[in-house]
Amino acid sequence: MKFKKTRLERTCSNCEGTIKKGDLYGQKSKSIPMMQTSWSIDRRPQEEIPDWAWEKVYISKTADWCKPCGEKEGVR
Ligand SMILES: [Zn+2]
């Protein structure tokens, strides 16, 4: 993991610690599972949505990591 200095305060997505201004941090993208339906929001039926209509999709999100966590992760 490459580290860079942050110019704003961030939260480490691994230990939930605060990464203060000027501290080094790394970034990593992770996939987050989300359930979605094939209907767009305004076309959704009013009644309960049946199970078959849901599908699991993964959205990719960039997470911030503090230096200690990032280094630990780099060892693995
Ligand atoms: Zn951390």
- Over residues 23-45, the pLDDT tens digits come to 999 999 989 899 888 766 666 66
Cβ burial, residue 2 (10 Å; 0-12/13-18/19+) = exposed
Ligand 1 geometric centre to CA of 60 (Å): 20
Residue 75 confidence (pLDDT): 52
Ligand 1 geometric centre to CA of 2 (Å): 14
Ligand 1 geometric centre to CA of 47 (Å): 43
Residue 51 confidence (pLDDT): 86
Ligand 1 geometric centre to CA of 4 (Å): 14
The answer to whether the beta carbons of residues 51 and 38 sit under 8 Å apart is: no
Reported pTM: 0.64
Percent pLDDT > 70 in the chain is 86
- Over residues 41-75, the pLDDT tens digits come to 666 667 788 888 889 999 999 999 999 999 987 65
Q: Where are the alpha helices (DSSP H) in 1-76?
A: 67-75
